[in-house]
Each structure stands twice: as structure tokens, then as C-alpha cells.
């Protein structure tokens, strides 16, 4: 089954668009029509198909368009040309911990982030225990999260993501979190998910993960796909 289908995807950003422009200067610019805008093409004519159960690693230099591609696929950037079709529920973990409100307790945060991922109240209640168990934070359920260490926050975010019934799991450089035993556990869990036909898309720079876990690598360079295929060869070229 095809989970993600991208065809001739082009994505441009307008840069030189200064973000913090005030009301007045916007109006003046509008009247004088003087605004300089440069277009930066971040993704150039990308086409790919990803099937269910695939474990895809995306590599490339900084600024090669990896994160933009992930954001387009997960539906965060909606303004592009070309076709992007996805089939299945997408759970994206792009900036780790960004849905959390740190003055609330862990329990309240689990409910909040799960509903952001589109789970209903009942589903969250059902999932709650497995999330807490997986994160190994049973003793802190009613602790406010500003007191958590960064490792704990990452572990929680990760546990929520993989226990929210993903069908497409998108991870942006957040794969290896926590201590060694947690890393091992999350590897196994993700392996288990891919066996259940979940598609995993992963951006990382760590060659070891790519060669051991992924069954397909996409190498991006300057907004284009340079190589796409078997891990072994691509990784040896890349590094």
C-alpha cells in the first residue's frame, strides 16, 4: 500500500520578507510598491513514493530541504506546487516538546498533546497508561513539567508520539532520546510499529542508525533527491 505519494513537488520561500514589519511600514511599502523579495527554491521537482512498513532515513547537509520536505508531507506547509497525497494518520515530532505547556502537570500535558494529534478523549484515556509506562515516568504523573529534566521531556514527547496510533511517523532529528536502555527500547518499539505497517520517516545525521535500522535512504542535496535506495551504498558515498 502506498502511504505517501509526492509528485513534482516544488516549494519556494520568499526571503527578504522581514518578519517583524510594523503596520505603518507595511502600508508605506504597499503604497510605494518597493518591497524586494527574493525567492529561494527549497525543494525542486521532488517525486517519490513511500509504502507502508517502510523505514526511510533522509540525509543531507543542513539547508538541503529535509525539514521542509517533512513539513510539507505532514501538512504544516500547505503552500506549494505539485501533488502530495498521504494515506493514514500522521504523527510528526519536529521540534521536540513544542506542544507542552510547562506550567501544567504531565497528565494534563499528555491530554493536550494527544488531542493535538487528533485523538479523542476516550482514546487518550485508553492510551494513557501505555504512554506513562513507556516513558518510565510513573512517579511524576502529577508533577508540573517545568521541573522535568530535558531527558524526561524528550522521553515523554517520544512516548506520546509512538503511542498515538501513528500510521505515518515523522521524526526530525529526535530519534535518539534518553539513556541507553530507553534508546534500545524505542528502537524495538519502532521496529514493532513498522512490522505493523507503520511508515517511519526519519531525518538524522547519525550513520549508525541509518545503516542498522532503515531499509531505504533518501539523500537530499540542494533541494533535490540525489540518491534514493538501499542504505549500504548510499551511506558509504555520503560519509
Binding site for another protein (CB under 8 A): 13, 17, 19-23, 26, 71, 74-79, 90, 92-95, 98-99, 101, 103-104, 108, 111-112, 115-118, 120-121
Based on CB atoms, which residue is closest to another protein, 22 or 181?
Answer: 22
Based on CB atoms, which residue is closest to another protein, 64 or 74?
Answer: 74
**Nearest distance in Å: CB 237, another protein:** 31
Q: Please classify residue 227 by burial: count the beta carbons closer than 10 Å to its beta carbon, then call 0-12 exposed, 13-18 middle and 19+ buried.
A: middle
Q: Which residue has the cell 513498522?
A: 194
Instruction: Write b or e for each residue in 146-178: b if 16 or more Cβ atoms lie within 10 A of its Cβ, otherwise e.
Output: eebeeebbbbbbbbbbbbbbbbbbbbbbbbbbb
**Nearest distance in Å: CB 46, another protein:** 17
Under a CB-based contact definition with an 8 Å cutoff, are residues 70 and 60 in contact?
no
Based on CB atoms, which residue is closest to another protein, 173 or 227?
Answer: 173
Based on CB atoms, which residue is closest to another protein, 51 or 115?
Answer: 115
Based on CB atoms, which residue is closest to another protein, 75 or 151?
Answer: 75
**Nearest distance in Å: CB 22, another protein:** 5
**Nearest distance in Å: CB 118, another protein:** 6
List of residues 6+ apart from 103 with CB closer than 8 A: 144, 145, 146
**Nearest distance in Å: CB 230, another protein:** 31
Amino acid at each position: 500500500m502506498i502511504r505517501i505519494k509526492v509528485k513534482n513537488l516544488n516549494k519556494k520561500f520568499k526571503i527578504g520578507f522581514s518578519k517583524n514589519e510594523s503596520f505603518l511600514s507595511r502600508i508605506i511599502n504597499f503604497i510605494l510598491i518597493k518591497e524586494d523579495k527574493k525567492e529561494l527554491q527549497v525543494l525542486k521537482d521532488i517525486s517519490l513514493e513511500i509504502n507502508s512498513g517502510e523505514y526511510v532515513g533522509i540525509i543531507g547537509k543542513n539547508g538541503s530541504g529535509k525539514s521542509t520536505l517533512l513539513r510539507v508531507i505532514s501538512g504544516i506547509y500547505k503552500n506549494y506546487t505539485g501533488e502530495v497525497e498521504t494515506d493514514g494518520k500522521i504523527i510528526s515530532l519536529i521540534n521536540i516538546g513544542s506542544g507542552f505547556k510547562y506550567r501544567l502537570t504531565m497528565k494534563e500535558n499528555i491530554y493536550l498533546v494527544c488531542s493535538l494529534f487528533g485523538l479523542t478523549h476516550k482514546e487518550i484515556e485508553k492510551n494513557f497508561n501505555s504512554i506513562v509506562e513507556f516513558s518510565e515516568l510513573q512517579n511524576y504523573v502529577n508533577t508540573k513539567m517545568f521541573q522535568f529534566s530535558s531527558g524526561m521531556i524528550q522521553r515523554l514527547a517520544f512516548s506520546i508520539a509512538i503511542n498515538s496510533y501513528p500510521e505515518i511517523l515523522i521524526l526530525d532529528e529526535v530519534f535518539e532520546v534518553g539513556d541507553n536502555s530507553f534508546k534500545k527500547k524505542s528502537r524495538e518499539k519502532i521496529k514493532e510499529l513498522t512490522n505493523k505497517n507503520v511508515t517511519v520517516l526519519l531525518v538524522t545525521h547519525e550513520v549508525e542508525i541509518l545503516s542498522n535500522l532503515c531499509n531505504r535512504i533518501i539523500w537530499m542535496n540542494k533541494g533535490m533527491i540525489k540518491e534514493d535506495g538501499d542504505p549500504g551504498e548510499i551511506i558509504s558515498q555520503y560519509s
